């Protein structure tokens, strides 16, 4: 297939490009580099199965030639309020990527009679009152809160994608991505695993905000990308959770990272300074993915950390 990936220079987009090329597809990458990193695609330069278009998806999208699939991954995704790449500091761009970008990408898929896959997020569930979260859960979201530019952009994108499927007959899929990590994440991503790994590699105590009881479920990037590919190749039009159902507290995660990096500096607790409305618990119910896609994650946390830490070590050595 010939596949367009918007947000191709991002963490997930770049891994998706590589996996699709490995499977024999031709990939057209698209990014405007607001948050994407050109270095994430540098290894694909000169690859005959890869081409690239620099473009902002909130503007009309034109790609010469026939496309068989459009995968819309373009959006700021980091919650880091201290980074210029964090969506709290790019609120309008985030909303435009989710609204106008999704509309333009869907229009391109419709014009090509191509498959369309939307990268949605577990953030559409907000701070969930249901645990674990099934795809049938409607969510508990503040539409004007500090995370609303990201959460509501994705919720709108899901509604628009569903409308294009039902009204125009576009062959759509929606993946709800839960916490994922691995190489090519930004050092200033702001999420907990990059933060902890950097502190550990510097020999610093790991900082936990609050009491460390808040939980997450962490999926390694290759597992996630495989699940997304299986969804693309399926006939499922309704949302599907892709993530790791193994839940752990921030305290357990910190102890695991200190153990893996042999960091003896320990842990310190600070007053909660996280972005407001941060969910206390997050864990996917992946029953649907198991049944429809025959998918579940294979790589455990320890293995995933061992695959990720060398990347951060190299990035830190270049600072």
85 catalytically annotated: no
Lookup: tokens for 317: 């050595």
Lookup: tokens for 37: 């990193």
3-class DSSP assignment, residue 28: strand
- What does the alpha-carbon distance between residue 118 and residue 178 come to, in Å, rounded to a whole number? 14
Query: Side-chain half-sphere of 151: how many Cα atoms within 13 Å?
Result: 22
Cβ pair 40, 7 in contact under 8 A: no
The verdict on whether omega for the bond into residue 58 sits within 30 degrees of 0, i.e. cis, is no
Bridge partner residues of 217 (DSSP): 247
Cβ pair 288, 135 in contact under 8 A: yes
Beta strands 247-249 and 215-217: pairing type?
A: antiparallel
Cβ pair 58, 100 in contact under 8 A: yes
Residue from 125, 150, 164, 229 carrying the catalytic annotation: 150
Phi/psi for 278 (5° steps) reads -65, 125
Angle at 228 between CA 60 and CA 296, to 5 degrees: 165
Of the candidates 190, 189, 198, 185, which has an alpha carbon nearest to the alpha carbon of residue 39?
185
Phi/psi for 193 (5° steps) reads -65, -50
Lookup: tokens for 274: 């996280």
Of the candidates 239, 277, 39, 306, which has an alpha carbon nearest to the alpha carbon of residue 143?
277
**Owner of token pair 């294009």:** 164
Residues labelled catalytic: 150
């Amino acid at each position: 297939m010939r596949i367009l990936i918007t947000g191709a220079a991002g963490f997930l987009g770049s891994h998706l490009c590589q996996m699709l090329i490995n499977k024999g597809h031709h990939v057209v990458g698209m990014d405007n580099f607001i948050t994407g990193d050109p270095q994430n695609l540098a290894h694909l330069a000169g690859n005959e199965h890869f081409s690239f278009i620099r473009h902002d998806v909130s503007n009309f999208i034109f790609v010469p030639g026939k496309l068989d699939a459009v995968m819309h991954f373009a959006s700021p995704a980091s919650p880091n309020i201290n980074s210029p790449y964090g969506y709290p500091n790019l609120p309008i761009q985030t909303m435009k990527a989710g609204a106008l970008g999704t509309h333009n990408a869907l229009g391109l898929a419709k014009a090509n009679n191509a498959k369309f896959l939307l990268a949605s997020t577990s953030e559409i569930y907000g701070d969930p009152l249901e645990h674990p979260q099934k795809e049938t859960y409607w969510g508990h979201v503040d539409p004007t809160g500090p995370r609303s530019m990201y959460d509501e952009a994705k919720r709108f994108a899901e509604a628009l994608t569903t409308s294009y499927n039902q009204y125009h007959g576009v062959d759509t899929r929606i993946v709800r991505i839960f916490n994922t990590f691995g190489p090519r994440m930004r050092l200033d991503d702001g999420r907990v695993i990059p933060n902890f790994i950097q502190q550990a590699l510097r020999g610093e105590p790991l900082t936990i905000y609050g009491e460390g009881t808040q939980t997450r479920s962490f999926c390694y990037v290759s597992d996630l990308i495989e699940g997304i590919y299986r969804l693309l190749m399926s006939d499922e039009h309704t949302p599907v959770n892709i993530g790791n159902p193994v839940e752990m507290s921030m305290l357990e995660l910190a102890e695991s990272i200190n153990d893996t990096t042999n960091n003896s500096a320990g842990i310190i607790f600070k007053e909660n300074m996280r972005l407001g409305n941060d969910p206390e618990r997050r864990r996917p119910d992946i029953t649907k993915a198991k049944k429809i896609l025959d998918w579940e994650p294979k790589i455990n946390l320890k293995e995933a950390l061992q695959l990720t830490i060398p990347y951060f070590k190299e990035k830190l050595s270049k600072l």
